[in-house]
Structure 1
């Protein structure tokens, strides 16, 4: 079944609109995890801070991912500010990630899809490829992106470098911890954000992997409804559980591969 055939069978346009509650959730979902991880790290409880840092990284990825598709329910400036702010906090240019992510949707798993390169690797190959993945994401954007993208990427990289310099120069220990953990997360992106949801889908790239287990989707903040996202990228993450139900009702015969 083609992408176009699937989108014609499912009612989804109403899911683009966020209520006030949903808007506040999507735009503030990162804050509890960030502040909790910083507080625990400040008092030296690094191991206890680690899961909170992981959840911050995951929710920040969810937030910027919605920003890529203009699905945060906020205007263009605040969307830009969200991407810029999370660039500094996540230690990578999020506009570079955006450029490659939108190309990923357009050229999914083809030669021009630089984000999706790790999908065809082994799981351990995708992990080892992680640092190369992050370098390539920035390099491709600076080479192929338009003037606006290049300007944003350079501004974010300069801000990240300035932030890191201040943190290490003044030895702000809880932020040193934060920088190290965020860089580790970035180096694992090729595995967690690409390989997990796309391996074994080369024959039908628009049919990415998905997750239907309730508790797994709760602990991953619905980020593994990836089949649904690729079919309807304009739908905000908070609406993906409802979208998944509609897809299942409209096309119970559609085969789905689990993420994990």
Structure 2
């Protein structure tokens, strides 16, 4: 079954809109994890802060990912502000990630898909490739992006550099901890955000891996409904569980390779 046939068979357009409650969830999901992680780090409890930092990173990914697809339920400026703020907090130019992610949907796992390069590697190869991945997505955006993308990436990189310089100059220990953990998280993106959901799918790139286990989806904030996302990228993350049910009801025969 082709992608277009799936789009015609599954009811999905109503899932694009968010209620006020859903919009507030998607735009504020990061806050409790960020506050708790920094509070614990401030008092020197770095080990205890780590899981909360990890959840902040994961929910930050969910937030910016929805922003890439204009699925936060907010206007253009607020969506931009979300991407910019998360750039500084997550230590990466999010507009560079966005540029490559949109290309990833267009050129999925082809030579033009720079985001998807690690999908064809071994799991440990994808981990080792992580720093190269982060460098490459910035380089590609500055080379191929339009003026708006380039401007936003430069603004974000300058802001990140200023933030890091101030933190290290004044030796703000809990923010130094935060910066280090975020950089490690970014270096793991080629593995967690690409390899896990796309390895061994090159024959049918549009059919990414997915996750159907309830508790696994809860602890990963529904970020591994990747088959569903690639088929219907305009659907916000909070609606992906419902979308998965509809796909299963209408096309139960569709192959669902597990993420983990």
Give the CA RMSD over aligned residues. 0.3
Cα distance per residue 1:195-219 (max 9 Å; x no partner): 0000000000000000000000000
1:200 maps to: 200
How far apart, CA to CA, are the structure 1 residues paired with 2:34 and 2:9? Answer: 40
Pairing 1:233-252 to 2, within 5 Å after superposition? 233-252=233-252
TM-score of the superposed pair, with normalisation by structure 1: 1.00
How far apart, CA to CA, are the structure 2 residues paired with 1:84 and 1:255? Answer: 37
Pairing 1:1-260 to 2, within 5 Å after superposition? 1-260=1-260
2:156 alignment partner, SS class: helix
Deviation at 1:5, TM superposition (A): 1.1
Total equivalences in the alignment = 260
How far apart, CA to CA, are the structure 1 residues paired with 2:111 and 2:63? Answer: 28
Gaps of 5+ in 2: none
Deviation at 1:2, TM superposition (A): 1.2
How far apart, CA to CA, are the structure 1 residues paired with 2:241 and 2:100? Answer: 26
Deviation at 1:41, TM superposition (A): 0.1
Cα distance per residue 1:130-179 (max 9 Å; x no partner): 00000000000000000110000000000000000000000000000000
1:133 alignment partner, SS class: helix
How far apart, CA to CA, are the structure 1 residues paired with 2:158 and 2:125? Answer: 30
Gaps of 5+ in 1: none
2:201 alignment partner, SS class: coil
Runs of 4+ in 1 over 3 A off after TM superposition: none
